[in-house]
Amino acid sequence: MEGAVSKTSIVALLRDAGAAALVAALLAFPLLGFRLVDSAQGLSLDARLIWVVYAAVIVFAGRFLFSLARILYGARRLAVAKPRIVLPGRSRYFFGIALIAVALLLPWLPFSDRNLIDKATLILIYVMLGWGLNIVVGLAGLLDLGYVAFYAVGAYSYALLSQHFGLSFWICLPLAGLLAASFGIALGFPVLRLRGDYLAIVTLGFGEILREVLVNWGVVTGGPNGISGIQRPSFFGLPMVPSSPDGATTFAQFFGLAFSPNQRIVFLYYLILALALATNLFTLRIRRLPIGRAWEALREDEIACRSLGLNPTMVKLSAFAIGATFAGFAGSFFATRQGFISPESFTFIESAIILAIVVLGGMGSQIGIVLAAFLLVGLPEWFRDLEQFRMLAFGAAMVLIMLWRPQGLLSHREPTLRLGDVKPLSVKEAGA
């Protein structure tokens, strides 16, 4: 490893870091160098050029250290070849069990409070959405940039059905999934012959079309004002309210407890946890069935998939429909949790975040999606006090993950179907 970093290479690294710092300064000058200040005299422009200097210095140091570490690490790999460390299947299994145990005990831990449970609930919503999109992107290999459309269908389906027909959450939940699946099939038919970038563009357009419909169809969707007063879920018919207006028994009265607003928060947390675990279990089981293996065959090579006698039309439509179903479930839960929905909750940035969770977690990796959701959704929520720097933390997390693990946090996947060891034929058996 001696001589891996020569004087010439140091100069080259400094030059490269200087160029990156110059670009960063040019970009930071209009974004960070000035800000609008609202005062009694009106708006004024305040210069803060020192922030531009800070940005350039940070980029210079980070670029130089990263390039230096890459050279040293590359020389070390050449000097000492080590096998790639892969987390064994049994270890992944116990790691998943540990995550489930922590999730089940989270509301009862000493440091748990309402804020923590709310953030954990939000993370689980994105975990469920990531697992649903993983069927389309990770297993079937279909790039979908309009997944938030099915999320919106589920939310508005529950809101409209509960308000106009008085249906409970438990009845609307499967109906929202079915309606979202029908929209998934409707999207699947026009894109049967598309793949790659063209498929992504069409799905992106589908998501934007649906959002515009929600904004402009005010008679049904409420338009930009959205829908408020959405019915909350009950615990097997027991409402979680201080007292029921119609004299029915409440949750607290049935179990002899003092009413607390945290009861509904904890119930919603366990509800989304159950929905997310059901999504995970369904995905793990279906990928071992013929339809799951057909998705993986389609992802690897569509032409070979056709040659094997598989029908790509049905394979694609099933992936879109099943993936959209789980988005519909998540959307209905989102509506009942918030009590209010509007088109602003279903913008393209939501699809981008869900897709980033799937890609950064590792295509097809269930546990990787959980870790990516915690990093991309949980960390920005904890950094919400940083205000305008919150999205900076989000972008920095994405960049660091892609630099550290280009294939995703947990890119290794066990084969769905493993062939057993083939015993070689003896000379006598071969002659026979």
- 42-99 residue pLDDT tens: 777 788 888 888 888 988 888 888 888 777 766 555 444 444 444 555 666 777 788 8
pLDDT for the residue 86 = 47
Contact call for residues 20 and 98 (beta carbons, < 8 A)? no
Alpha carbons 411 and 404: distance in angstroms, whole number = 12
Give the separation between CA 415 and CA 397, rounded to whole angstroms. Answer: 29
pLDDT (average), residues 205-233 = 88
> Residue 334: is its pLDDT beyond 90?
yes
Tell me: the pLDDT tens digits for 178-203? 999 999 988 888 877 777 778 888 88
Residues near 143 by beta carbon (within 8 Å), at least 6 away in sequence? 137, 196, 197, 199, 200, 203
- Residue 45 forms beta bridges with which residues? 36
Strand 227-228 to strand 42-47: parallel, antiparallel, or no bridges (unpaired)? unpaired
- pLDDT above 70 covers a percentage of the chain that reads 82
Q: Which stretch, 27-31, 86-90, 105-109, 320-324, has highest mean pLDDT?
A: 320-324
pLDDT (tens digit per residue) in 238-269: 777 777 666 677 777 777 777 777 888 889 99
- Residue 415 pLDDT exceeds 80: no
129-178 tens-digit pLDDT: 999 999 988 888 888 888 999 999 999 999 999 988 888 888 999 999 99
Separation CA 50–CA 34 (nearest Å): 10
Which of these ranges, 26-40, 76-90, 215-229, has the smallest mean pLDDT? Answer: 76-90
Helix (H) or strand (E) holding 354: helix 348-361
pLDDT at 2: 46
Residue position matching structure tokens 């519909």: 328
Measured CA to CA in angstroms, residue 262 lies from 30, 149, 253, 265, 385 at distances of: 45, 31, 15, 5, 23
**If pLDDT is split at 50, 70 and 90, which confidence band does 421 have?**
very low
**What pLDDT does residue 83 have?**
43
